[in-house]
Structure 1
Amino acid sequence: MKPAIKRVWVLGAGQLGAMLKHAAQPLGVDLRPVDIALDANLPLDDGDVITAEREQWPSTKATDQLAAHPNFVNQEVFGLVADRVTQKQMLDRLNLPTAPWVLVTEQDTAAGLHQQYGARVLLKQRTGGFDGRGQHWLVEHQGSDNQTSPHLSNAIPHGWHNKVIAEQAIAFDEEVSIVGVRNRVGECHYYPLALNRHQDGILTVTLAPLERLSSLQNAAQAMLKKVMDELDYVGVMAMELFRVGERLLINELAPRVHNSGHWTQSGASISQFEYHVRATADLPLAPAVIKHKSVMINLIGIEYNLAWLALPGAEVFWYGKDVRPMRKVGHINFSMAHQVQLLDSLKSLQATLPDWYQPALDWAINELES
């Protein structure tokens, strides 16, 4: 039986919206990303479905119309998760482990936060802020006698009270993430845990799957399932985690497809983008079959290089955005059955990228060789 074409609107027309559109076409789903700056009415029908590629958006004719549609999937979730206070409160209520935290009010001082959480305290803006932006470290100076000095290297920035949370610094072993999907009847599927390397606060490389992380898979799935069930969530959700020994702490949630899940475009029978389309358009889900070990490399603030296309196994995704410093402009996936070939391609890629990338690629190569 030919599938009925269903129309899904995506609030946002960035690279995630574009990749959702690409995933929807083979499924017979008419998916239409909408620029958040569009100040015009859209031809919406009652049976259309609305989703989003982002947690926040401005008020325009188009976004207001989409937000008012009764079939806006997860509409109440976006605001809850976008605000780090309400997100953390939910995780606390569900008894899910996170870094100790507090909302910074006018009564709080840097000295007081250090007394409560230690020498290193991370301030995060309640909304917005990603790739290392919207954050500020409070770090105590060390005196010449190597004792903690009451003098602070910095203070809570002006105007940040009530707009940020403070988190205790976590001495984590590494950063991992899990991406899962849930449909309207509560059926869930999950990808293997991915290992992530950040540089200057920006995700640079993701590796998945790794056998050494498999012992943590069930715990990560249970944590994500608890959140998705609590929210009656529909679609793909990502959970960023810190691994501390054999424990996992939740760093942040993303109620959408996520950068650390881009490897699934090459390394799984169903990508995270296809899963999101299936769930929101009420199409059947199925367990994704993992093909091979995969590596995803973000392209950050660099010009397009045709040499990437000549690398064996490279699958290049270029976003067509203006190139600016520290801006994600694309990514490259490798998913290969033979590790020697994968390593050879990564080493060849390394020669095409600037010095900023070398520590992250050295890390990836060492991890795969170990």
Structure 2
Amino acid sequence: MANAIWVLGNGQLGAMLAHAGKPLALDVKPIDIMAPPAEQLPMQASDIVTAEREQWPESALSLQLSQHPQFINSSVFGRLADRFTQKSLLDELKVATAPWQLVDDSVSEQTLHQTYGDRVLLKRRTGGYDGRGQHWLKQAEATSIPADWRNEAIAEQAINFDEEVSLVGARTHDGRCVFYPLTLNLHQDGILMASIAPLPRLAAFQAEAEQMLSTIMHGLEYVGVMAMECFRVGDKLLVNELAPRVHNSGHWTQAGCHIDQFQLHLRALADLAVMTPQVNFQCVMVNLIGVDYDARWLSLQNAELFWYDKEVRPGRKVGHLNLSVTEPQLLADSIAKLQQWMPSQYQAPLAWILQHYQG
């Protein structure tokens, strides 16, 4: 067993990995790579390195971590952090995704509209998440390609999807894959607001999704948890984005499964026993975005609160609530209270939960 598992990054994902390591007797050490200490870390050859994010600033400390011989998936993070190389990988593996191309110097707005239609989504190759780093080209409004986005962005066809789903799975060192049920997600202004899993009606897409994510993880020789966000268009799935790490849409597993995504990731990295996660009950996850701590959340009978202890800012993820759906009326009562306590931007997501949780 590894002496320690170091995590590039000490945000909420790193903190939850550290928490998940304790019952497994794993010493998980999240490291602040945004304001790193000057001294070298006391790393051992048998230590393992992982990351809670796809990109990090270069420093003596981040180099020590990222160049460690046991940095699992070291070649994967950069490849998936760049949307150009991520999309190229999907095409190479013949995994369905939205039609796309690089926005290079030769591309014009006219040619993009001719190829993809009157609405084209530009995405920065790196750095954009939670709705940032995106720009719409709308033919009716004659919007243009930002000058500094050329060669730094891809263009995607706008997808009129029916809904957004994600699959979280893991691959072991010997190439075995296990998966959680598909999760139904709601985004608002590009930020995940709520997730529901499992849903019986999504079971029809489970095999297709598992085949897609298996193909990707095998192609990368990936080890650990990976998340695949998809659009459902009719009876087909299109991959939107990949995350080589534990993921926001997998937070429901902390309440709903006997092995959550954080423990699963650590088990796979440390080459411990990896079992197919058992789902104990349906769960609803509500992201807490830019809202102040409210002790009333703790009074909800079916709620587990995860508060990240971060400065509250607009649009910032500061925590999440997992609501166990053991009884429909209990969920309805909790949602009714949240509708009274939460600000206006939560009214639509909370209504969405009541509409969809029964599937």
Instruction: Confirm or deny a common fold (TM above 0.5).
Output: yes
Instruction: Tell whether 2:220 aligns with 1:224.
Output: no
Gaps of 5+ in 2: none
Cα deviation digits, residues 141-181 of structure 1 (max 9, x gap)? 1xxxxxxxxxx431001210000000000010000000001
* Correspondences of 1:130-145 after superposition (within 5 Å): 130-141=129-140
Q: Helix, strand or coil for the counterpart of 2:161? A: coil
**Aligned counterpart for 1:27 among listed residues 24, 30, 35:** 24
C-alpha separation between the residues in 2 aligned to 1:95 and 1:40? Answer: 45
Match of 2:276 in 1: 287
C-alpha separation between the residues in 1 aligned to 2:204 and 2:355? Answer: 21
C-alpha separation between the residues in 2 aligned to 1:65 and 1:214? Answer: 43
C-alpha separation between the residues in 1 aligned to 2:315 and 2:142? Answer: 26
C-alpha separation between the residues in 1 aligned to 2:55 and 2:13? Answer: 14
C-alpha separation between the residues in 2 aligned to 1:6 and 1:343? Answer: 46
**Aligned counterpart for 1:174 among listed residues 134, 142, 163:** 163
Cα deviation digits, residues 172-217 of structure 1 (max 9, x gap)? 0000000001110011110000000000110000000000000000
Match of 1:147 in 2: none
Instruction: Tell whether 2:346 aligns with 1:349.
Output: no
C-alpha separation between the residues in 2 aligned to 1:40 and 1:308? Answer: 41
Match of 1:149 in 2: none
Instruction: Tell whether 2:33 aligns with 1:10.
Output: no
C-alpha separation between the residues in 2 aligned to 1:206 and 1:288? Answer: 18
TM-score of the aligned structures, taking structure 1 as reference length: 0.95
C-alpha separation between the residues in 2 aligned to 1:249 and 1:191? Answer: 18
* Correspondences of 1:322-333 after superposition (within 5 Å): 322-333=311-322
Q: Which amino acid in structure 1 is aligned with residue 58 of structure 2?
A: S
Instruction: Tell whether 2:189 aligns with 1:200.
Output: yes
C-alpha separation between the residues in 1 aligned to 2:336 and 2:147? Answer: 46
C-alpha separation between the residues in 1 aligned to 2:295 and 2:110? Answer: 52
Asked if 1 retains the 8 angstrom alpha-carbon contact of 2:2 and 2:46, the reply is no
C-alpha separation between the residues in 2 aligned to 1:15 and 1:282? Answer: 24
Q: Helix, strand or coil for the counterpart of 2:131? A: coil
Asked if 2 retains the 8 angstrom alpha-carbon contact of 1:268 and 1:288, the reply is yes
Deviation at 1:107, TM superposition (A): 1.3
Asked if 1 retains the 8 angstrom alpha-carbon contact of 2:162 and 2:232, the reply is yes
TM-score of the aligned structures, taking structure 2 as reference length: 0.98
Cα deviation digits, residues 207-266 of structure 1 (max 9, x gap)? 000000000000000000000001110000000000001000000100000000000000
C-alpha separation between the residues in 2 aligned to 1:219 and 1:105? Answer: 33
Q: Helix, strand or coil for the counterpart of 2:14? A: helix
Q: Helix, strand or coil for the counterpart of 1:198? A: strand
* Correspondences of 1:182-261 after superposition (within 5 Å): 182-261=171-250
C-alpha separation between the residues in 2 aligned to 1:360 and 1:337? Answer: 20
Q: Which amino acid in structure 1 is aligned with residue 59 of structure 2?
A: T
* Correspondences of 1:140-151 after superposition (within 5 Å): 140-141=139-140
Asked if 2 retains the 8 angstrom alpha-carbon contact of 1:311 and 1:349, the reply is no
C-alpha separation between the residues in 1 aligned to 2:132 and 2:2? Answer: 40
Match of 2:329 in 1: 340
C-alpha separation between the residues in 2 aligned to 1:26 and 1:324? Answer: 33
Cα deviation digits, residues 264-322 of structure 1 (max 9, x gap)? 00000000000011011111101111011110000000100001011111100000111
Q: Which amino acid in structure 2 is aligned with residue 45 of structure 1?
A: Q
Match of 2:154 in 1: 165
Q: Which amino acid in structure 1 is aligned with residue 106 of structure 2?
A: Q
* Correspondences of 1:97-112 after superposition (within 5 Å): 97-112=96-111
Deviation at 1:369, TM superposition (A): 5.1
Match of 1:44 in 2: 43
C-alpha separation between the residues in 2 aligned to 1:64 and 1:40? Answer: 12
Q: Helix, strand or coil for the counterpart of 1:123? A: strand
Q: Which amino acid in structure 2 is aligned with residue 294 of structure 1?
A: C
Asked if 1 retains the 8 angstrom alpha-carbon contact of 2:283 and 2:322, the reply is yes
Asked if 2 retains the 8 angstrom alpha-carbon contact of 1:104 and 1:161, the reply is yes
Percentage of matched positions with identical amino acids: 55
Change (3 A) 1:369 1:186: closer
C-alpha separation between the residues in 2 aligned to 1:113 and 1:5? Answer: 50
Runs of 4+ in 1 over 4 A off after TM superposition: none
Asked if 2 retains the 8 angstrom alpha-carbon contact of 1:182 and 1:188, the reply is yes
Asked if 2 retains the 8 angstrom alpha-carbon contact of 1:100 and 1:168, the reply is yes
Asked if 2 retains the 8 angstrom alpha-carbon contact of 1:11 and 1:54, the reply is yes
Change (3 A) 1:5 1:46: closer
Match of 2:91 in 1: 92
